[in-house]
């Protein structure tokens, strides 16, 4: 298995632009997580899905952030409009189950908003 796949690996954009991050979880995993990591706040859970359904999105910073999981093999995290304070590394992870299950992380997308 190729593991969790994220794209793009790096994204540089200007303030106000829409940004879409993509994730393909490990086949057979039914939980998917989006995390953000910054120097100031460390790793934070933004949202997670169980069987393609969003379970907890309380970590999503504000309405500019949205996430979808249209099927078991694909998820997107969208920021519209982007702001410089959104600059961070965004990780996607998947697991066989949402609570207590070992999570497998993707390589991350490094986002820079100028």
Partner 1 sequence: KNEVEQSPQNLTAQEGEFITINCSYSVGISALHWLQQHPGGGIVSLFMLSSGKKKHGRLIATINIQEKHSSLHITASHPRDSAVYICAVPGGMNRDDKIIFGKGTRLHILP
Q: Which of residues 63-92 bind partner 1 (CB under 8 A)?
A: 89, 91
Segment near partner 1 (CB under 8 A), from 17-25, 39-47, 68-76, 78-86? 39-47
Task: Report the residue number, 53 or 70, with the smaller CB distance to partner 1.
Answer: 53
Contact between 96 and partner 1 per CB under 8 A: no
Nearest to 73 by CA among 49, 99, 97: 49
42 binding partner 1? (CB under 8 A): yes
Which residues have C-beta within 8 Å of that of residue 48, sequence separation ≥ 6? 31, 32, 33, 34, 54, 55, 56, 98
């Amino acid at each position: 298995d190729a593991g969790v796949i994220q794209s793009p690996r790096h994204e540089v954009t200007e303030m106000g632009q829409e940004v879409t991050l993509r994730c393909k979880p490990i086949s057979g995993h039914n939980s998917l997580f989006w995390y953000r990591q910054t120097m100031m706040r460390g790793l934070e859970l933004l949202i997670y899905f169980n069987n393609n359904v969003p379970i907890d999105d309380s970590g999503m910073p504000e309405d500019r952030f949205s996430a979808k999981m249209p099927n078991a093999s694909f998820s997107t995290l969208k920021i519209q409009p982007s702001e410089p304070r959104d600059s961070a590394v965004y990780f996607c992870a998947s697991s066989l189950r949402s609570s207590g299950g070992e999570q497998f992380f993707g390589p991350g997308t490094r986002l820079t908003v100028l």
